[in-house]
């Protein structure tokens, strides 16, 4: 069950609630305007084996992250075929995907396991979901979406004190509205701080507690977190190893910019 913390911070599980189903695709909406966000969203997209229906992006920037399958033994060799307006890219897990406004995404999952993508749209469109026919050949006059996919391993780690982060999607690949990154948090708790942007987090590995002001709740792999603009917060790593998270914020900027709470 979703937990509401101070200031409108929301924490839920990745498959919480009813899924929207179409063909090989199931969608869970964990963060949206309907659930208290101002403009950002977070959706969990699960693709069964086979060719998915098309997902038509609206007039917004959409960033997606290909989640590593915890049941594959860490092999990471499986490749999924991504079509953006029919242009084909072969993408591995731990990769970011940038979908420009008014583009259509189609996924061909070779299986045997399901494939999960974490999606954020900024700003979230008025229409909940636009389904379309699968598109596996480029539209006439469609632009080749070069540099639409980015591997985590290819991005330089940037350090802030004892933490690191790697930016996947930003203006370098054409996204001027939204930034997507993966960050690492060591055991312990950093000072409370806040940002001047709206943010969503998805916990990739590890365990800890999400703090918003004086309130907190446990988090682990699959936790989906909404942080309103200006909300004082902190992610605490209560485990023995790394806590790794996927972060998306809107408007775009740098994950290293933060403001410490005056109460610290």
**How does pLDDT run across 139-169, given as a tens digit for each residue?**
777 777 778 999 999 999 998 878 899 999 9
Q: Is the pTM of this model over 0.85?
A: yes
Domain co-membership, 124 together with 138:
yes
Does residue 234 form part of some domain? yes
Domain boundary among 127, 151, 175: 151
Domain co-membership, 96 together with 124:
yes
Domain co-membership, 128 together with 21:
yes
pLDDT tens-digit readout, 166-192: 999 999 898 989 999 999 999 999 889
Domain co-membership, 177 together with 228:
yes
Query: Following CA atoms 195, 199, 200, 202 in sequence, which dihedral angle do they give, to the nearest 10 degrees?
Result: -40
Domain boundary among 118, 151, 184: 151
Does residue 215 form part of some domain? yes
DSSP codes joined into one string, 70-82: TTSTT----EEEE
Domain co-membership, 69 together with 170:
no
Does residue 121 form part of some domain? yes
Residue with tokens 């999924």, as numbered in its chain? 80
Domain co-membership, 129 together with 192:
no
Domain co-membership, 77 together with 183:
no
Domain hosting residue 185, numbered range: 153-260
Report, as an integer, the average pLDDT of 33-50.
96
Domain co-membership, 36 together with 144:
yes
Q: Bigger pLDDT: 174 or 74?
A: 174
Confidence of residue 197 (pLDDT cuts 50, 70, 90): very high
Domain boundary among 151, 168, 187: 151
pLDDT at 66 over 80: yes
Distance CA 113, CA 126 (A): 32
Does residue 9 form part of some domain? no
| Domains contained in the chain, number | 2
Domain co-membership, 25 together with 139:
yes
Distance CA 2, CA 261 (A): 26
Q: Which of 132-146, 217-231, 250-264 has the lowest mean pLDDT?
A: 250-264
Does residue 3 form part of some domain? no
Domain co-membership, 48 together with 159:
no
Does residue 7 form part of some domain? no
State which H helix or E strand residue 260 sits in: strand 259-260
* First and final C-alpha spacing in the chain: 31
Does residue 2 form part of some domain? no
Domain co-membership, 118 together with 166:
no
Does residue 223 form part of some domain? yes
Domain co-membership, 139 together with 65:
yes
User: What CATH number did the domain enclosing 55 receive?
Assistant: 2.60.120.10
């Amino acid at each position: 069950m979703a937990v509401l913390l101070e200031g409108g911070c929301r924490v839920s599980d990745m498959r919480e609630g009813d899924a929207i189903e179409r063909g090989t695709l199931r969608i869970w909406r964990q963060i949206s305007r309907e659930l208290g966000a101002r403009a950002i969203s977070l959706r969990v997209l699960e693709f069964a084996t086979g060719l998915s229906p098309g997902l038509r992006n609206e007039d917004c920037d959409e960033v997606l992250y290909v989640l590593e399958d915890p049941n594959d033994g860490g092999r990471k060799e499986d490749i999924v075929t991504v079509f953006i307006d029919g242009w084909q890219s072969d993408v591995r897990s731990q990769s970011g995907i940038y979908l420009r406004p008014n583009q259509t995404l189609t996924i061909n999952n070779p299986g045997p396991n399901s494939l999960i993508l974490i999606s954020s749209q900024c700003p979230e469109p008025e229409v909940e979901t636009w389904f379309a026919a699968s598109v596996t050949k480029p539209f006439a006059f469609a632009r080749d979406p070069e540099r639409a996919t980015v591997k985590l391993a290819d991005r330089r780690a940037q350090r802030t004190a004892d933490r690191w982060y790697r930016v996947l999607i930003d203006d370098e690949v054409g996204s001027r509205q939204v930034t997507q990154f993966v960050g690492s948090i060591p055991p312990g708790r950093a000072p409370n701080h806040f940002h001047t942007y709206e943010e969503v987090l998805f916990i990739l590995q590890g365990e800890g507690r999400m703090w918003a002001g004086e309130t907190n709740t446990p988090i682990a792999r699959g936790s989906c977190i909404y942080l309103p603009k200006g909300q004082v917060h902190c992610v605490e790593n209560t485990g023995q190893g790394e806590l790794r998270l996927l972060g998306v914020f809107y408007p775009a900027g740098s994950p290293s910019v933060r403001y410490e709470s005056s109460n610290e």
